[in-house]
Amino acid sequence: MSEGTLQRVEGDVAVATRGELGHSMESAPGLLPGELRPHPSPFKYVVIAVVLCIVTAIEIGTSYLEGDIPNGLLIFLLLAMALFKFVGVAGWYMHLQTDKPLFRRFFILGCVAAVILYTIVLATLSVFAA
Amino acid sequence: MATIEQTAEVGGPPSQGTPGHDPHATSTGVTNTKLAIWLFLSSDCLFFGAFIASYLLYRGRDVSGPGPRKLFDIPFTSATSFILLMSSLTMVLALAAIQRGDHRRVRIWILATALLGATFIGGQVFEFTEFSREGLHVSTNLFGSSFYLLTGFHGAHVTIGIIWLLSLWGMSTRGRLPTKKAESVELAGLYWHFVDVVWIVIFTVIYLIPQPH
Amino acid sequence: MTTVTDEVAVVKVHEPIIVLRRPKSTTGVWSWFTTVDHKKIGIMYGAAALIFFLVGGIEALLIRLQLFQANGSVLTASQYNELFTMHGTTMVFLVGMPMAVGFGNYFVPLMIGARDVAFPRINAFGFWVVCAGAIFLYSSFIPGVNGVPNGGWFGYTPLTSTPIDAGFLPGHGPDFWSVGIILLGIGSTTSAINFIVTILNMRAPGMTLMRMPVFVWMMLVVAFLTVFAMPIITVALIMVFTDRNFGTLFFSPAAGGDPLLYQHLFWLFGHPEVYILILPGMGIVSETLPVFSRKPLFGYAVVVFSGIAIGFLGWGVWAHHMFATGLGPVAVSAFGLSTMLIAIPTGVKIFNWLGTVWKGAVRLTTAMLFSLGFIAMFTIGGLSGVLHSIVPSDTQQTDTYFVVAHFHYVLFGGLMLAVFSGMYYWLPKITGRMLNERLGKINFWTMLIGFNVTFFPMHLLGLYGMPRRTYRYDTGLGWEGINQVVSVGAFLIALSTLVFLSNVIVSLVMKRGEVAGDDPWDARTLEWSISSPPPEYNFAEVPEVTNRDEFWHHKYTEDDEGHLVPIPSGGAYGSTDADKHDGHGIHLPSPSIYPLVMAFGLLPIAYAAVYQSWIPLVIGVLILLFGMYAWGIEPSTEEA
């Protein structure tokens, strides 16, 4: 049983010989390591950017409706649009939608933990009290 | 923090005793560095969340001093927010460029991102000086304390991002950012998009949501 | 099977930029400053933790001297405040956490069959940051600095947050404290990320998550807790610092601020923190009990899931530290219930440990005694904890010595006894020599007795109304006699510690202990399959894992009646190969000076913060940037 010398040479041919738990970085043809599906194309990125701009414009416009619509509804709409943009950037620009689920799970864990914990803190300090 | 471990990753047990074996294979199939940066970003959610929560707690509780109604210039901040949003586009285009080996474009898009980011910071600096001239300092009231610290730390994150991007740009001009190191750009991109995403939250929650009277 | 290709790919290799000459040596004193080897880093963490255990212990003894008599005059009130603050801060941040990270650093890669952690240089950086943080905190003791932290290890506002010139806590105590902990937090967070990536990504082939040793599982849970908890306290500390130094109003009631915000942020960190402290200890005894009972851990899956459950539930109980702050009946009821709930997975683990020992072929080695002691003492601490979950009861007990008794039972009787167990169990692997068993037993019994004499009476003191954090008490309250017993017990603990230290010095440093060999305990996990101490590259060949307790199954199989049958060719993995194998062909990450440089760039920045001075700030930032860029350019492995 010989010990192969490990040379980090550019263009090393990687051959996956391991059984379980030896995920090679060359997963499937056309996919980069860590990807589950192909990432969006540059054209799609631009399209997403345009959508995000439009939503931002709508958001800003909506904020000027203060006083014309109930505050609760206004806040709901603004938060919904912010969430839409959040998911747009995180899902597509950060590739959470096309990468392996592991990243998505950790990030959602962090976001959810932050929202729940801080909401409880604010509730305890009577921020939501009438 | 910029390009740590990006030249040769210790991904997985380096030697399997089998010659020619993939030296970068990991138990999950994702690289160490990408996993690490996602963990860091998840951690940063708690950091910004605490400042945002404190801002929300102290909304409308000022005893004196100027408040957001008086000071906020929504059109101005909308413009800077657009700029930061567009910088996310240029960032992801930089990543796409390096993934297909177009190094000239990589440099263009990275520089564009850094410039847009710097413009955003310029806008922040302008906003802070304006508010300061109108009498808002960290010690004026709760709004001052919570607003400046939240947006200040956000701005610090953007600034670090700009330095990171300029470092990558510098490496690329010297030929030290080959296609096989595309992940370096990806990692910087993830950080950059995160900073943008935090701003999306801040812009809505602090600027747009109706201010208390 | 693949074949080696002899082709040399034509490569455009850039000349590496040499900023500073790369250290190459892995032996000698200097190599400790440049090492990126997880084993050396683990040893340094453990040594630092032990040193600070002594320092924190001396702080405790001074406290006990002051409280020996009513109206004691050994210490002034001011000195007393500094000592109990530093005792707590030291024990939590400079003993408990580094000790766990030390054991974790050394053994997690070994237990999962890896050659190092995912980011060896960041690993070194984490250690040097902890070092810098410790130096920073303790430099406050230098005469004339007037900056010893004195607001309690928890630093409640507005005591700590009123501006420095407003008189509540003059001097720089809270500044050294807040900045020091932020600095330590940087080290902890980077280590935690390193552990998560290592455990998830670098397991040997066949090592599924459910085949990992429980100690590894606990380190994984702890790492997640750290990653999510440290940012919260960082924000709280930043706010304290800016309130104090820049006039922000976060905790200023006059301006509408709420000091309770601080308590929420602090305990949102603080409660997960105590699980960060105890879970590694639970992991250690989950390793020792099976070995010394010659039985697999009872209910492995349940123990693992209980650990994960504690990790989750631990986020939902923080306000039980605030029951007396006027939260209102809804909040206190909710948190009281959640606190009771967390007793369930904890209790489940205790039953599993008992089930492991039950009907096992028990060997009462020192390590085993400490582990059994852990179960008993931690149970007592857990019971007093459940008493705290009953809100009306806690309203009486909070801020009294009853609480002091509780957390010392779980942290000393729990964590520290587990640590001592780990020392006796694992130091032979680390050093190649056994600790003396006779001295060990004296160590154990004096520790157990001393500990109980010190902390059990505190339950009574608390119920008799003696408050915490007060530097003296009057005569006629019925407290003096008990306090004297407590103080005597503390000195007995000190004596026991001296016994431990002599054991270490005689057996390990002077090398009079028995040679350990690869597997002195006939143990179950992979670290025992290699030499003691392990070679630099850990495993000659990365093991293929097919079982939980892989090494045990490598050594033994069972016959039809369930009796153990040794496998003739079993024993240390390729131990004969290891003799012939000199690590040739295995390339390990090379040493580096930049982690140290970066960590010590942070130090002047910390001083700059406290004194608001530009010069150390600029110097620190320059060193930091230099270290960062030089590190970024340096490849992780130099070709030899």
CB spacing of A15 vs C2 below 8 angstroms: yes
Answer whether B167 sits within 8 Å of C629, measured CB to CB: yes
The domain of C526 spans 35-589
Of C200, C315, C585, the CB nearest to A4: C585
First to last CA, chain B: 44
Instruction: Please give the distance of CA C461 from its chain centroid, rounded to a whole number.
Output: 29
- The CB-side HSE value for C439 (13 A sphere, CA atoms) comes to 20
Residue C11's pLDDT band (boundaries 50, 70, 90)?
very low
- The CA-CA-CA angle for residues B121, B122, B124, to 5°, reads 60
Taking a C-beta distance cutoff of 8 angstroms, is the pair C429, C517 a contact?
Answer: no
pLDDT in tens, B130-169: 999 999 999 999 999 999 999 999 999 999 999 999 999 9
Residues C406-425 have a mean pLDDT of 97
> Would you say residue C10 has pLDDT above 90?
no
- Answer whether residue C495 is part of any domain: yes
Chain B partners within 8 Å of A5 (Cβ): 19
Q: For C609-620, what is each residue's pLDDT tens digit?
A: 999 999 999 999
Interchain contact A41–C (C-beta under 8 A) = no
- Residues in chain C within 8 Å Cβ distance of B63: 254-256
The set of long-range contacts for C508-517, using a CB threshold of 8 Å and a minimum separation of 24, is: C508/C427, C508/C431, C508/C433, C508/C435, C511/C433, C513/C428, C513/C431, C513/C433, C513/C434, C513/C435, C513/C436, C514/C433, C514/C434, C515/C432, C515/C433, C515/C434, C516/C428, C516/C429, C516/C431, C516/C432, C516/C433, C516/C434
Per-residue pLDDT band for C201 (boundaries 50, 70, 90) equals: very high
Question: Is A60 within 8 Å of A67 (Cβ atoms)?
Answer: no
- Give the model confidence (pLDDT) of C260-271 as tens digits: 999 999 999 999
The set of residues, in sequence order, having a beta carbon less than 8 Å from that of B130 and lying 6+ positions away, is B71, B73
Rounded to the nearest integer, the mean pLDDT of chain C is: 92
Minimum mean pLDDT among B148-162, C6-20, C396-410: which range? C6-20
> What does the pLDDT read at residue C582?
56
A33 three-state secondary structure: coil
CA distance C349 to C372: 13
Considering only CB atoms, which chain A residues are within 8 Å of C12? 10
pLDDT at B45: 95
pLDDT of A25 > 70? The answer is no
With an 8 Å Cβ cutoff, is C636 touching chain B?
yes
Residue B11's pLDDT is 40
Q: Is residue C5 part of a domain?
A: no
- C167, C82 contact by CB (below 8 A): no
Question: Of A20-24, B205-209, C245-249, C432-436, where does mean pLDDT reach its minimum?
Answer: A20-24
| Side-chain-side CA neighbours of residue C364 (13 Å) | 7
Mean pLDDT for C551-568 is: 86
All structural domains of chain A with their residue ranges: 1-30, 40-99, 100-130
Could you give the ipTM of this predicted complex? 0.92
Chain C residues with CB-CB distance to B43 below 8 A: 189, 193, 227-228, 230-231
Q: CA C34 to CA C14: how far, in whole Å? A: 25
Q: Which of residues 17-36 of A touch B (CB under 8 A)?
A: 17-18, 21-27, 32-34
Res C410: pLDDT: 97
A126 at the B interface (CB within 8 A)? no
By C-alpha distance, which of C377, C368, C543, C514 is closest to C441? Answer: C368
Q: Does A102 touch chain B (CB under 8 A)?
A: yes
Q: Per residue in C562-608, pLDDT tens?
A: 788 888 876 555 444 444 455 566 778 889 999 999 999 999 999 99
Q: Which residues of chain C lie closer than 8 angstroms to B51, CB-CB?
A: 235
* Contact pairs from chain B to chain C, CB under 8 Å: 167
Is this structure's pTM higher than 0.90? yes
**Residue B184, min C-alpha distance to chain A (Å):** 13
Return the percentage of chain C with pLDDT > 70, whole number.
94
Lowest mean pLDDT among C358-362, C507-511, C587-591: C587-591
**H or E segment and range at residue C566:** strand C564-566
Confidence tier at C26 by pLDDT (50, 70, 90): confident
| Contact status, residue C221 vs residue C279, Cβ threshold 8 Å | yes
Taking CA atoms, what residue in A is nearest to C327?
A: A124
Is residue B155 within 8 A of residue B211, CB to CB? The reply is no
The span from the CA of C190 to the CA of C520, in Å, is 34
Residues A57-75 have a mean pLDDT of: 92
Look-up: residue for tokens 């240089």? C121
Question: CB A113 to CB C315 under 8 A?
Answer: yes
Q: Does C4 contact A4 at a Cβ distance shorter than 8 Å? A: yes
Counted domains in chain C:
1
Q: Centre a 10 Å sphere on the Cβ of residue B156 and count the other Cβ atoms it contains.
A: 12
The CA distance from C403 to C463, in Å, is 10
User: Would you kindly state where each structural domain of chain B is located, as residue ranges?
Assistant: 31-208
Which of these, C361, C218, C352, C371, lies nearest to C289 by C-alpha position? C371
| CATH number, domain with residue C294 | 1.20.210.10
Note the pLDDT of residue C13: 52
pLDDT score, position C166: 77
Rounded average pLDDT over A32-56: 90
Query: What does the mean pLDDT of chain B come to?
Result: 89
Q: Please name the member of A21, A46, A62 whose beta carbon is closest to the beta carbon of B27.
A: A21
Inter-residue contact C417 to C443 (CB < 8 Å): no
Residue B133, burial from CB neighbour count under 10 angstroms (0-12, 13-18, 19+): exposed
CATH 1.20.120.80 fits B31-208, yes or no: yes
pLDDT over 90 (residue A86)? yes
C258 pLDDT higher than 70: yes
Backbone φ, ψ for residue C565 (5° rounding): -125, 120
Q: Average pLDDT of C224-236? A: 97
User: Residues C386, C402: contact at Cβ < 8 Å?
Assistant: no
* Contacts by residues C380-383 (CB-CB < 8 Å, ≥ 24 positions apart): C380/C409, C380/C413, C381/C406, C381/C407, C381/C408, C381/C409, C381/C410, C381/C411, C381/C413, C381/C414, C382/C343, C382/C346, C382/C347, C382/C350, C382/C410
Q: Quick one: angle between helices B103-133 and B74-99, nearest 10?
A: 160
Nearest to C539 by CA among C492, C586, C580: C586
Q: What is the pLDDT of residue B163?
A: 96
| Residue at C493 is within a domain | yes
Interchain CB contact of B104 with C (< 8 Å): no
